Structure 1
Amino acid sequence: MKKLIFLILLLTCGFSKAQETSDSLAYKKRVLENTEVDFLASYYTQDGNNAAVSGGIGTEELTDGTSTIVVSIPLNADDVLTVDAGISAYTSASSSNVNPFDGGKDANPFQASSGASSSDLWTNLMGSYSHSSDDRNRIWALHGSMSTEYDYFSLGFGGSYTMLFNEKNTELTVKANAYFDSWKRLYPYELRPFLSGGQGLSASLFNTHTITGNADYQPLFSELTEKKRNSYSAGLALSQVFTKNMQGSLLLDVVQQQGLLSTPFQRVYFADVADSYIDEFQLADDIERLPDSRFKIAVGGRLNYYLNEIVVLRGFYRYYTDNWGITSHTASLEVPIKIGSKFTLYPSYRYYNQTAADYFAPYETHLSTESYYTSDYDLSTFNASQYGFGLTYTDIFTGFRLWKLGLKSIDLRYNYYERNTGLTANIILFGVKFVAD
């Protein structure tokens, strides 16, 4: 009888433990409770007078509109599939001057041409899959992407692995990505007759337009042999909750690029070559030429401090350097201010400065004897400031309904950007998040 009672107790305990485990698994918190849909849009404008397309002089006027939809779908309690699709349309006075002679007016680097190169369409599609362990202390993710525009195509692949420990107060993430890009080599229009097999000065362009200055135009131009660019990156992020009011993180990213790293349609003008013009546009002496490899490393950190239930301080700093001679510092501060239960204001400021690449020089400063050269002011010495302001509306109860979607948040932000080189830009960002039933 004692053995029978003992056996019954043992089976009962085992059943209870199994039931407890089953219930625990049945009711574990899902990584994502419902499908979420984000609609994002941005509008960007810029202006300046250091266009790389025209050798460091000329208009940098550009406008760009982008729309994106992001759908996150919970496949089960542990797995989430995310699909991100975007399209961007731009018009650019700068890139229109890839062919400045097709607008029906006198060519001028400070005015836009109306040809085909004045606008373009960029499309992007990305999918990602993430899996979380039962205890939510391990997360791994994979993603793939594809993007294309008129002269460019890119495929990307990557993944990450995240570990949480110390009662989820410490988080470590490692990630790796690879991108395989291909260029359609689009050269400045006046250089195309000098490609192998071209007609040179007897081409129709020079028969229908008069060359002034040095009429014996003979550019130092040869076709690029490379049209692919591969980029490989790895990153490490360590986040730590220090106190109930303070959280910080350390970030490390390294990137190795190989292949065509210069832009084929960006002109360069030499100080030791006589100038040739059609109308008011100076004909290129050559295109931008840069090394076929580049190594980048960036180290940074974030520190967030919760002052009270109204104000939070979010600080960021990053140091960057590469083997082209550029070093840079980025510092930013954002101060979310909660207004009531549903609205938050986001004033922010960002400062950036960098040294010039070894291969940069302004308009007509390079010499034709150099191996590498560019007049792209993105690679120059400059400092920049960005002033931002945003407003977010959040409703965790999704009271407003649109069909089967509940409105979770609305986000509107504006940023003004300026460089000491004269470039200015305005950026408007808008986002709406819905949660499906």
Structure 2
Amino acid sequence: MKKSVNITAALAAASCALLGTPASANDFIKGWEMDTSLMYYGETDRVTAVEAVIAGKKDFGNEHIFNGKLVIDTLTGASATGAVAQSTAQTISRPSGNGSYIIQSGDTPLDNTFKDTRVQVDGQWTQPWSDVSRITTGLHLSTEHDYFSVGFNGSYAHDFYNKNTTLAAGLAYSYDVINPEGGVPVPFSTKTSVTNTTEDYDDDDTRDDNYSEDNEGNFSNDERQGSSDNKSTVDVLFGLTQVINRRMLMQFNLGVSKVTGYSTDPYKILSIVNDEGVTQSLVYENRPDSRTKTFAFWQTKYALDFGVADFSYRFATDDWKVDSHTLDSRLRINLSDKSYLQPHFRYYSQSAAEFFQPFLMEGEAIPEFATADYRLGEMTAYTLGLKYGLELDNGDELSFRVEYYQQNPKNAGFSEPGALQNVDLYPSVKAVIAQVNYRF
């Protein structure tokens, strides 16, 4: 960690020298509060992510404060496609349309080509508006190989009753551009694939052809409607923070979010199955091009003689009919003046989107919207974790966090024809999270 700080300071000093301004590493670092972290997230047989974060804060005087953050994360592994498992092996074409991969009999179809690197930069400036109010403005940039996002935000906060009560209002706007591999698929167009092969293959078996043969011996190609698409998001937030007494603090937030534009996942597909549950073809999903979400959030922090209790509840709903409840609790236990333990428990539940379907039936009319993405299905999830923090002799803080996460998708009332009764259509997702933080 210290090495990266020295490099940053050296670059700053060199820049000042080029501009004719003397500078030193200490001059640059002085006054900055830095927070760095490295996190590992690993799902069993699925996605693995590594994320590095560097955040800095500096008060330039008179409460003129700058906050900045750089995030770099990499993701690899296998991601669920939305297709259903089968009692025989399946061959599915890659997102780019070049080549294909084998799914073993009974296995949930996963895209093993999933790989991405994301870079995110955030900056915020806060300054007083009056003796009892302040304004904040911010900028957000994020990019990866098939996605770009830019956003702006601003907020106003006003204190009452000797700063025991704070009212805040915020507005944010973001614009995203999606550039999926192979282009944007036509909704419900047939994905090139070979299904229901009669034998299993090794997990790394692939086909290198750009086209695939269907069950009748015909060849087809994925249909695309352009190379990119976009969407915009507007968020409005209202907040109230209240000091209850010398030990208790409460916060209440209400928010509304409006998404307009391309909201479909271009890599997700659905299986069309017959009455026996056998896949006949694979088609691309389609979601509405608008979504309005509202949420209410309540948090309470209470100072105990031996630490701090932190509890929050969040309810969210949207016009896709996804309702969710989140309970989150942390208990900081001071082991000494310079160390602590913090157990963490989080519980989450949500209902399925009104257009969620684990599969489509052959012979039935194609709906206007449909997705088999388990993230929009009915589910529950929980997180169990423990954090250990230690203040070093120089005043810096080092902490470690380890957590276990499990997501349990559920059947939202769909019958399972034929062979689908013999496979797991709603497998659990299990993950381990490990993180180290260094604050100085």
TM-score for the superposition, normalised by structure 2: 0.74
**Pair 1:411-2:411 in alignment:** no
Q: Deviations over 1:149-170 (max 9, x none)?
A: 1110000110111111111111
1:155-194 matches, within 5 Å, as 155-186=150-181
Cα shift at 1:180: 0.2
**Aligned residue number for residue 26 of structure 1:** none
Once residues 347 and 371 of structure 1 are traced to their aligned partners in structure 2, the CA distance between those partners, rounded to angstroms, is 45
* CA positional deviation for 1:39: 1.1
SS of the residue aligned with 1:40? strand
Using the aligned pairs only, state the percent identity.
23
Q: Is the 8 A contact 1:357 1:380 kept in 2?
A: yes
Per the alignment, residue 352 of structure 1 pairs with 348
Structure 1 partner of 2:257: 255
Q: Which of 131, 152, 176 lines up with 2:127 in the alignment?
A: 131
CA distance in 2, matches of 1:174, 1:368: 46
One-letter amino acid of the structure 2 residue matched with residue 152 of structure 1: Y
Distance 2:210 2:252 in 1: 60
8 Å contact from structure 2 (residues 183, 224) kept in 1: no
Letter matched to residue 140 of structure 2? S
Output one character per residue of 1:385-404: Cα deviation in whole Å (capped at 9) or x when no partner.
11111112235xxx43xxxx
Alpha carbons 1:233, 1:256 under 8 Å: kept: yes
Aligned counterpart, 1:16: none
The 3-state SS of whatever aligns with 2:337 is coil
Give the aligned partner of residue 140 of structure 2.
145
Name the residue aligned to 1:68: 53
1:43–1:64: 8 Å Cα contact kept in structure 2? yes
Please name the residue that 1:423 is paired with.
429
Quickly say closer, same or farther: Cα 1:209–1:132, change in 2 above 3 A.
closer
1:45-64 deviations in Å (ceiling 9; x for gaps): 113xxxxxxxxxxx6x0100
Cα separation, 2, equivalents of 1:212 and 1:433: 57
Structure 2 counterpart of 1:229: 231
User: Letter of the aligned partner of 1:36 in structure 2?
Assistant: E
Q: How many residues align?
A: 367
Q: Which residue identity lines up with residue 181 of structure 1 in the other structure?
A: D
3-state SS, counterpart of residue 162 of structure 2: coil
CA distance 1:271–1:391, shift in 2 (3 Å): same
Matched residue SS, 2:70: strand
> Gaps (5+ residues) in structure 2?
1-29, 82-91, 195-206, 410-427
Aligned partners of 2:192 and 2:212 also within 8 Å: no
Q: Retained in 2: the 8 A contact 1:297–1:322?
A: yes
1:363 to 338, 342, 359: 359
> Partner amino acid for 1:123?
V
Q: Give 1:377's match in structure 2, choosing from 358, 374, 377.
A: 374
Question: By how many angstroms is 1:211 displaced?
Answer: 3.2
CA distance, structure 2, for counterparts of residue 385 and residue 214 of structure 1? 45
Deviation of 1:429 (Å)? 2.1
- Residues 207 and 425 of structure 1: is their aligned pair in 2 closer, same or farther, counting only changes over 3 Å? closer
Q: Is the 2:185–2:225 Cα contact (8 Å) retained in structure 1? A: no
Asked whether 1:34 is paired with 2:19, we answer no
Over residues 38-81 of structure 1, what are the superposed CA-to-partner deviations in whole Å (9 max), with x where a residue is unaligned?
1111110113xxxxxxxxxxx6x010001011122222232122
Q: Which runs of 5+ in 1 are unaligned?
A: 1-32, 48-58, 277-281, 401-406
Q: Which residue of the partner structure matches residue 313 of structure 1?
A: 309
Question: Matched residues in 1 for 2:184 and 2:256: separation?
Answer: 37
Deviations 1:264-305 (A, max 9, x none): 1111122369999xxxxx785321100000000000201122
Structure number with the higher strand fraction is 2
The corresponding residue for 2:321 is 325
1:269 partner SS? strand
TM-superposed deviation, 1:188: 9.2
Corresponding residue of 2:287: 290
Q: 1:304–1:189: structure 2 CA closer, same or farther, 3 Å change rule?
A: closer
Partner of 2:298: 301
Kindly state the Cα deviation for residue 433 of structure 1 after the two structures are TM-superposed.
1.0
Partner Cα separation in structure 1 for residue 52 and residue 380 of structure 2: 29
**2-side partners of 1:411 and 1:253: how far apart?**
32
Letter in 1 for 2:396: K
1:336 is matched with: 332
- Cα deviation for residue 347 of structure 1 reads 0.6
String of CA shifts for 1:308-334, please: whole Å, max 9, x gaps: 2x0322111111100001111111221
Distance across 2 between alignment mates of 1:37 and 1:284: 53
The code of the aligned residue for 2:271 comes to Y
What is aligned with 2:240? 238
CA distance in 2, matches of 1:110, 1:143: 42
Please report how far the alpha carbon of residue 86 of structure 1 lies from its aligned counterpart in structure 2 after TM superposition.
Answer: 1.4
Residue 241 of structure 1: how far off its partner (Å): 0.9
- Cα distance in 1 for residues equivalent to 2:210 and 2:248: 69
Whether contact under 8 Å (1:394, 1:408) holds in the other structure is: yes
Indicate if the aligned counterparts of 1:191 and 1:284 stay in contact, CA closer than 8 A: no
TM-score by length of 1: 0.74
> d(CA) in 2 for partners of 1:190 and 1:320?
30
Matched with 1:433 is 439
CA contact (8 A) 1:86 1:124 kept: yes
Q: Residue 262 of structure 1: SS of its match in structure 2?
A: coil
Matches of 1:151 and 1:236, distance apart in 2? 33
Q: Deviations over 1:208-237 (max 9, x none)?
A: 877363434668956369710101101111
